[in-house]
A and B are shown apart, each in its own frame.
Chain A
Amino acid sequence: DSGVTQTPKHLITATGQRVTLRCSPRSGDLSVYWYQQSLDQGLQFLIQYYNGEERAKGNILERFSAQQFPDLHSELNLSSLELGDSALYFCASSVQGQTKETQYFGPGTRLLVL
Protein backbone atom coordinates (compact mmCIF):
# COMPACT_ATOMS: atom_id res chain seq x y z
CA ASP A 1 0.00 0.00 0.00
CA SER A 2 1.57 3.26 -1.20
CA GLY A 3 -0.49 5.51 1.05
CA VAL A 4 -2.06 7.26 -1.95
CA THR A 5 -5.80 6.74 -2.22
CA GLN A 6 -8.02 7.19 -5.23
CA THR A 7 -11.76 7.11 -5.65
CA PRO A 8 -13.76 5.73 -7.25
CA LYS A 9 -12.06 2.47 -8.15
CA HIS A 10 -14.27 1.98 -11.21
CA LEU A 11 -16.37 4.41 -13.20
CA ILE A 12 -18.69 3.69 -16.11
CA THR A 13 -20.25 6.57 -17.96
CA ALA A 14 -21.49 7.61 -21.38
CA THR A 15 -19.96 9.77 -24.10
CA GLY A 16 -20.46 13.46 -23.57
CA GLN A 17 -20.62 13.15 -19.80
CA ARG A 18 -18.39 14.69 -17.15
CA VAL A 19 -16.70 12.86 -14.29
CA THR A 20 -14.49 13.76 -11.37
CA LEU A 21 -11.71 11.55 -10.07
CA ARG A 22 -10.36 12.11 -6.61
CA CYS A 23 -6.93 11.56 -5.11
CA SER A 24 -5.54 11.88 -1.62
CA PRO A 25 -1.73 12.00 -1.45
CA ARG A 26 0.44 10.29 1.13
CA SER A 27 0.53 12.05 4.45
CA GLY A 28 3.12 14.82 4.24
CA ASP A 29 3.37 14.87 0.46
CA LEU A 30 2.74 18.27 -1.09
CA SER A 31 2.85 17.35 -4.75
CA VAL A 32 0.32 15.40 -6.77
CA TYR A 33 0.66 14.03 -10.28
CA TRP A 34 -1.97 12.65 -12.63
CA TYR A 35 -1.30 9.98 -15.25
CA GLN A 36 -3.38 8.25 -17.88
CA GLN A 37 -2.68 4.62 -18.76
CA SER A 38 -4.18 3.17 -21.90
CA LEU A 39 -3.31 0.07 -23.86
CA ASP A 40 -2.01 1.91 -26.90
CA GLN A 41 -0.35 4.91 -25.27
CA GLY A 42 1.07 3.39 -22.11
CA LEU A 43 1.45 5.56 -19.02
CA GLN A 44 1.30 9.26 -19.86
CA PHE A 45 1.89 12.20 -17.58
CA LEU A 46 -1.02 14.64 -17.52
CA ILE A 47 -0.39 17.31 -14.90
CA GLN A 48 1.37 18.07 -11.62
CA TYR A 49 0.35 20.22 -8.68
CA TYR A 50 2.41 21.41 -5.78
CA ASN A 51 0.81 22.85 -2.67
CA GLY A 52 -2.26 23.93 -4.58
CA GLU A 53 -0.53 25.39 -7.60
CA GLU A 54 -0.09 23.88 -11.04
CA ARG A 55 3.58 23.06 -11.53
CA ALA A 56 3.91 21.09 -14.76
CA LYS A 57 1.70 20.11 -17.62
CA GLY A 58 1.99 17.12 -19.88
CA ASN A 59 -0.30 15.63 -22.48
CA ILE A 60 -3.51 16.84 -20.91
CA LEU A 61 -6.43 17.59 -23.18
CA GLU A 62 -8.30 20.88 -22.92
CA ARG A 63 -11.40 18.88 -21.93
CA PHE A 64 -9.54 17.77 -18.83
CA SER A 65 -8.72 19.92 -15.84
CA ALA A 66 -7.41 19.38 -12.36
CA GLN A 67 -6.98 21.18 -9.10
CA GLN A 68 -5.38 20.66 -5.73
CA PHE A 69 -7.23 21.82 -2.66
CA PRO A 70 -5.91 23.36 0.58
CA ASP A 71 -6.06 19.95 2.27
CA LEU A 72 -3.82 18.75 -0.59
CA HIS A 73 -6.26 16.31 -2.10
CA SER A 74 -6.65 16.64 -5.84
CA GLU A 75 -9.41 16.17 -8.35
CA LEU A 76 -9.16 15.44 -12.04
CA ASN A 77 -12.18 16.57 -14.05
CA LEU A 78 -12.85 14.95 -17.40
CA SER A 79 -15.57 16.50 -19.54
CA SER A 80 -17.22 15.86 -22.91
CA LEU A 81 -16.02 12.32 -22.56
CA GLU A 82 -15.16 10.30 -25.63
CA LEU A 83 -14.74 6.57 -26.11
CA GLY A 84 -11.00 7.06 -26.33
CA ASP A 85 -10.89 8.48 -22.82
CA SER A 86 -11.46 5.00 -21.45
CA ALA A 87 -8.32 4.23 -19.50
CA LEU A 88 -6.80 3.82 -16.09
CA TYR A 89 -6.12 7.11 -14.37
CA PHE A 90 -3.41 7.14 -11.73
CA CYS A 91 -2.54 9.70 -9.17
CA ALA A 92 0.92 9.82 -7.64
CA SER A 93 2.39 11.96 -4.91
CA SER A 94 5.80 13.06 -3.74
CA VAL A 95 7.09 15.17 -0.90
CA GLN A 96 8.19 18.37 -2.61
CA GLY A 97 7.58 17.67 -6.27
CA GLN A 98 11.27 17.89 -7.01
CA THR A 99 12.78 16.36 -10.11
CA LYS A 100 14.42 13.37 -8.49
CA GLU A 101 11.91 12.47 -5.85
CA THR A 102 10.21 9.13 -5.85
CA GLN A 103 6.60 9.28 -6.88
CA TYR A 104 4.22 6.95 -5.09
CA PHE A 105 1.27 5.78 -7.12
CA GLY A 106 -2.27 5.14 -6.05
CA PRO A 107 -4.30 2.10 -7.13
CA GLY A 108 -5.94 3.98 -10.00
CA THR A 109 -9.44 4.67 -11.25
CA ARG A 110 -10.62 2.58 -14.17
CA LEU A 111 -12.82 4.70 -16.44
CA LEU A 112 -15.02 3.13 -19.08
CA VAL A 113 -16.81 5.41 -21.50
CA LEU A 114 -19.63 3.72 -23.39
Chain B
Amino acid sequence: GESVGLHLPTLSVQEGDNSIINCAYSNSASDYFIWYKQESGKGPQFIIDIRSNMDKRQGQRVTVLLNKTVKHLSLQIAATQPGDSAVYFCAGRMDYGGSQGNLIFGKGTKLSVKP
Protein backbone atom coordinates (compact mmCIF):
# COMPACT_ATOMS: atom_id res chain seq x y z
CA GLY B 1 0.00 0.00 0.00
CA GLU B 2 0.89 3.64 -0.15
CA SER B 3 2.44 5.24 2.88
CA VAL B 4 4.53 8.16 3.89
CA GLY B 5 6.28 7.96 7.19
CA LEU B 6 8.75 9.76 9.37
CA HIS B 7 11.80 8.24 11.00
CA LEU B 8 11.56 9.90 14.41
CA PRO B 9 8.54 11.08 16.33
CA THR B 10 10.50 13.77 18.23
CA LEU B 11 13.56 15.88 17.61
CA SER B 12 15.19 18.24 20.08
CA VAL B 13 17.78 20.76 18.92
CA GLN B 14 19.63 23.69 20.39
CA GLU B 15 18.69 27.15 19.19
CA GLY B 16 20.99 28.14 16.37
CA ASP B 17 21.78 24.58 15.32
CA ASN B 18 20.59 23.03 12.08
CA SER B 19 17.67 20.59 12.17
CA ILE B 20 17.16 17.65 9.86
CA ILE B 21 13.80 15.90 9.69
CA ASN B 22 13.58 12.75 7.62
CA CYS B 23 10.76 11.08 5.76
CA ALA B 24 10.43 7.87 3.76
CA TYR B 25 7.82 6.93 1.24
CA SER B 26 6.84 3.62 -0.24
CA ASN B 27 5.15 4.38 -3.55
CA SER B 28 7.42 5.38 -6.42
CA ALA B 29 4.40 6.95 -8.14
CA SER B 30 4.39 9.63 -5.47
CA ASP B 31 6.35 12.19 -7.41
CA TYR B 32 5.43 15.35 -5.58
CA PHE B 33 6.19 16.03 -1.95
CA ILE B 34 5.35 18.76 0.48
CA TRP B 35 6.49 19.70 3.94
CA TYR B 36 3.99 21.22 6.33
CA LYS B 37 4.51 22.79 9.73
CA GLN B 38 1.78 22.58 12.33
CA GLU B 39 1.95 24.69 15.44
CA SER B 40 -0.14 23.84 18.44
CA GLY B 41 -3.79 24.69 17.91
CA LYS B 42 -3.33 25.63 14.27
CA GLY B 43 -3.76 24.03 10.89
CA PRO B 44 -0.83 22.76 8.81
CA GLN B 45 1.13 25.51 7.13
CA PHE B 46 2.91 24.99 3.82
CA ILE B 47 6.71 25.23 4.06
CA ILE B 48 8.20 23.95 0.84
CA ASP B 49 7.53 21.47 -1.91
CA ILE B 50 9.60 19.48 -4.37
CA ARG B 51 8.86 17.59 -7.56
CA SER B 52 10.42 14.31 -8.51
CA ASN B 53 12.48 15.85 -11.29
CA MET B 54 14.45 17.72 -8.64
CA ASP B 55 16.92 16.55 -5.99
CA LYS B 56 17.03 19.68 -3.95
CA ARG B 57 15.04 22.81 -3.39
CA GLN B 58 15.83 25.72 -1.15
CA GLY B 59 13.62 28.22 0.56
CA GLN B 60 14.20 30.72 3.27
CA ARG B 61 16.27 28.83 5.89
CA VAL B 62 14.81 25.54 4.67
CA THR B 63 16.08 22.99 2.19
CA VAL B 64 14.34 19.86 1.02
CA LEU B 65 16.36 16.98 -0.37
CA LEU B 66 14.82 14.16 -2.36
CA ASN B 67 16.51 10.81 -2.96
CA LYS B 68 14.30 8.85 -5.31
CA THR B 69 16.61 5.86 -5.33
CA VAL B 70 15.94 5.10 -1.67
CA LYS B 71 12.56 6.90 -1.57
CA HIS B 72 13.64 9.31 1.07
CA LEU B 73 13.30 13.01 1.61
CA SER B 74 14.48 15.34 4.29
CA LEU B 75 13.79 18.83 5.53
CA GLN B 76 16.73 20.85 6.73
CA ILE B 77 16.17 23.96 8.81
CA ALA B 78 19.15 26.23 9.17
CA ALA B 79 19.83 28.17 12.37
CA THR B 80 16.79 26.74 14.12
CA GLN B 81 14.82 29.27 16.13
CA PRO B 82 12.30 28.84 18.96
CA GLY B 83 9.56 29.78 16.52
CA ASP B 84 10.40 26.66 14.53
CA SER B 85 9.08 24.48 17.34
CA ALA B 86 6.16 22.58 15.85
CA VAL B 87 5.15 19.27 14.34
CA TYR B 88 6.48 18.78 10.83
CA PHE B 89 4.67 16.60 8.33
CA CYS B 90 5.86 15.33 5.02
CA ALA B 91 3.16 14.54 2.49
CA GLY B 92 3.34 12.79 -0.82
CA ARG B 93 0.93 13.02 -3.67
CA MET B 94 0.20 10.59 -6.46
CA ASP B 95 0.46 12.26 -9.82
CA TYR B 96 -2.52 11.18 -11.86
CA GLY B 97 -1.62 13.61 -14.59
CA GLY B 98 -4.79 15.57 -14.07
CA SER B 99 -6.55 17.29 -11.30
CA GLN B 100 -6.75 14.47 -8.83
CA GLY B 101 -4.15 13.86 -6.23
CA ASN B 102 -4.69 13.01 -2.62
CA LEU B 103 -2.12 14.03 -0.08
CA ILE B 104 -0.80 11.13 1.97
CA PHE B 105 0.62 12.49 5.21
CA GLY B 106 3.22 11.01 7.49
CA LYS B 107 2.54 10.90 11.22
CA GLY B 108 4.71 13.90 11.97
CA THR B 109 7.90 14.77 13.84
CA LYS B 110 7.71 17.09 16.80
CA LEU B 111 10.59 19.54 16.74
CA SER B 112 11.53 21.16 20.05
CA VAL B 113 14.05 23.99 20.10
CA LYS B 114 15.98 24.50 23.31
CA PRO B 115 17.08 28.07 24.09
Chain A residues 68 to 114 lying within 8 A of chain B, measured CB to CB, are 90, 92, 96-100, 102-108
Which chain B positions have C-beta within 8 A of A105? Answer: 36, 43-45
Interface size (B, Cβ < 8 Å)?
Answer: 28
Contact B89 A56 (CB under 8 A): no
Give A34 Cβ to nearest chain B Cβ, in Å.
Answer: 11
Interface size (A, Cβ < 8 Å)?
Answer: 26
For residue B4, which residue of chain A has the nearest CB?
A42
Which chain B positions have C-beta within 8 A of A102? Answer: 34, 46, 49
Contact B103 A99 (CB under 8 A): no
Which chain A positions have C-beta within 8 A of B100? Answer: 48, 55-56, 99
Which chain B positions have C-beta within 8 A of A48? Answer: 100, 102
Chain B residues 86 to 104 lying within 8 A of chain A, measured CB to CB, are 89, 91, 93, 95-104
Contact B102 A56 (CB under 8 A): yes
What are 29 residue pairs bridging A and B, where the CB atoms are less than 8 Å apart in the complex?
A: A2-B43, A4-B43, A42-B106, A42-B108, A43-B89, A43-B103, A43-B108, A45-B104, A50-B99, A56-B101, A56-B102, A58-B102, A90-B43, A90-B44, A92-B43, A92-B44, A96-B99, A97-B99, A98-B99, A99-B32, A99-B96, A99-B98, A100-B32, A100-B49, A100-B93, A100-B101, A103-B46, A106-B43, A107-B42
